[in-house]
Amino acid sequence: MAAAPNPPRHLSDEEFRRAGYALIDWLIDYRARVAELPVMPRVAPGDIRAGLPAAPPQAGESFDAILADLAPLIEPGLMHWQSPNFFGYFPANASPPAILGELLSAGLGQQGMLWQTSPACTELESLVLDWLVSALDLPARFRTDGQGGGVIQDSASSATLCALLAARERASAWQARDDGNPASLVAYCSADAHSSLDKAMSIAGLGRARLRKIATDGAQRLDVAALAQALDEDVAAGLRPFFVCATVGTTAALAIDPVAAIGTLAARHGAWLHVDAAMAGSAALCPELRFVNDGLEQADSYCFNPHKWLLTNFDCDCFYVADREPLLRALSVMPEYLRNAASDSGAAIDYRDWQIPLGRRFRALKLWFVLRSYGIEGLRQFVRHHLALAAELEALIVADEAFELLAPRTLNLLCFACRDDDALSRALLERVNAEGRLFISHTVIDGRYCLRLCIGQTYTTRSHVLAAWQHIRAARAALSGESS
């Protein structure tokens, strides 16, 4: 028999240790200088790839050589989401405990598709999600030790898709997963709901045309009277309302839909109520901000993203259901090769049945590290700090005649514009982002071009916010030919 070829050379324990320390050192140095880097990368499409070899190396390289390439070859193409001057979109926060939890997850290399394939991955996840039910004062029905439960999804988009599939299963008297879509199903959300609803409808084969985008009121919240009318019209036309999504904290303006009234209408029509609180949900850590939970007791499902405003790096979305049966009926498949005594006993959670993919990472570690390292009080301080800064900036914007607010501030997002001048607002955004001292994003509100400035980055302080405001004012003045 021919001798087996030698295994590849792995890093020795000592090399791995040295490389690991070097990488953590690199990250700490990066964090120390990130505030000085232009937040938005100054590259054109293709630039980063053009700087890299077209083919992989045939012989292995040293870790030192790999690390040395990060700053010159990769860093220029980074949007610095971890800069304290990052105010765009919604944040995607990292923090030291979360980074270490992520590293540990990779190092332990768990694949937690079944309880049996990693009991710790499963049980820590359900525990941490139950901790969050208490910490956020969510309805007890979401607790994993009852009929409902929570699971970590990669993203709010996946959570919404899972909610939609569970709702479809329930609405079809448990037929849809085998027989496909009933013809009559129709879903509802506000015109400002996240685009992941459209995606979910098309992935589910229900079709985007069956998603009714309900008009919003003057404060960008779903208009309940318009929803009631749409529901009645669809029922009169022989259609079947099966799913309503309320948004707590819309992407454009952080507007908060009237969840209680929406829930009452959904219940009247036997429709599933999903609440998407991707960004705003973390605010409920603070008792004084629990208005973000209003109406949640009627929700069939709920999600929020610790990867936005809870110091836990992407990806980490917490998805809860009040009753797990529809979700499991929609997503559970049991091939012979996965059969095992724990699953058969019904005593264990198999999280593969709560998500789209089979395999899953040990994401609960990073959330567990964050919750333990900061403590609930520390996390509350984080949210309150941002809110205080947002309130201060709001006052500055209101006091400045050159600017106007385009939407009421609900939490830590400012939606504003150059007064009566959309072209100037657009030019301002381009100039400020190109200069690189800060990064903001935009939306359109009631037909107006709107600058969005969200204060939620891990290391943002008052001085960063005040400097950003000074910079925005100076850029506007320069564009208008004024001296600031």
Ligand X SMILES: Cc1ncc(COP(=O)(O)O)c(C=O)c1O
Q: What whole-number distance in Å separates Cα of residue 346 and Cα of residue 341?
A: 9
Query: To which H or E segment does residue 150 belong?
Result: strand 149-153
Looking only at the bridges linking them, the beta strands covering 301-304 and 272-276 are: parallel
- What minimum distance in Å lies between the beta carbon of 483 and ligand X? 38
Q: For residue 315, is the peptide bond before it cis, meaning its omega torsion is within 30 degrees of 0?
A: yes
Q: What whole-number distance in Å separates Cα of residue 461 and Cα of residue 466?
A: 9
Residue 257, interface with ligand X (CB under 6 A)?
Answer: no
343 vs 457 by CB, closer to ligand X: 457
Q: Which of 276, 300, 350, 353 binds ligand X (CB under 6 A)?
A: 276
From 126-134, 150-158, 237-245, 339-347, give the range in contact with ligand X by CB under 6 A: 150-158
- What minimum distance in Å lies between the beta carbon of 21 and ligand X? 32
DSSP state, residue 72: I
Q: What whole-number distance in Å separates Cα of residue 208 and Cα of residue 190?
A: 14
210 touches 237 (CB < 8 A):
no
Residue 247, interface with ligand X (CB under 6 A)?
Answer: yes
Q: Which of 278, 292, 432, 438 binds ligand X (CB under 6 A)?
A: 278
Q: What whole-number distance in Å separates Cα of residue 226 and Cα of residue 262?
A: 11
Residue 156, interface with ligand X (CB under 6 A)?
Answer: yes
169 vs 317 by CB, closer to ligand X: 317
251 vs 343 by CB, closer to ligand X: 251
Q: What whole-number distance in Å separates Cα of residue 361 and Cα of residue 397?
A: 43
- What minimum distance in Å lies between the beta carbon of 428 and ligand X? 23
Residue 355, interface with ligand X (CB under 6 A)?
Answer: no
247 vs 343 by CB, closer to ligand X: 247
From 113-121, 151-159, 342-350, 466-474, give the range in contact with ligand X by CB under 6 A: 151-159
Residue 305, interface with ligand X (CB under 6 A)?
Answer: yes
Exposure of 16 in the CB half-sphere (CA atoms within 13 A): 6
> What 3-state DSSP class applies to 378?
helix
Residue 234, interface with ligand X (CB under 6 A)?
Answer: no
From 127-135, 271-279, 376-384, 413-421, give the range in contact with ligand X by CB under 6 A: 271-279
From 53-61, 149-157, 332-340, 382-390, give the range in contact with ligand X by CB under 6 A: 149-157
Q: What whole-number distance in Å separates Cα of residue 335 and Cα of residue 146?
A: 27
Tell me, residue by residue from 178 to 197, as one string, x for binding to ligand X by CB under 6 A and - for no binding.
----------------x-x-
Q: Which of 466, 468, 438, 448 is nearest to 404 (CA)?
A: 448
Residue 129, interface with ligand X (CB under 6 A)?
Answer: no
Residue whose pair of structure tokens reads 């037909």 in the numeric block: 447
396 touches 462 (CB < 8 A):
no
H-type helices in 274-399, by residue range? 306-309, 325-331, 341-345, 364-399
- What minimum distance in Å lies between the beta carbon of 305 and ligand X? 5
Q: Footprint of ligand X on this chain (CB under 6 A)?
A: 90, 155-157, 194, 196, 247, 249-251, 276, 278-279, 305, 317
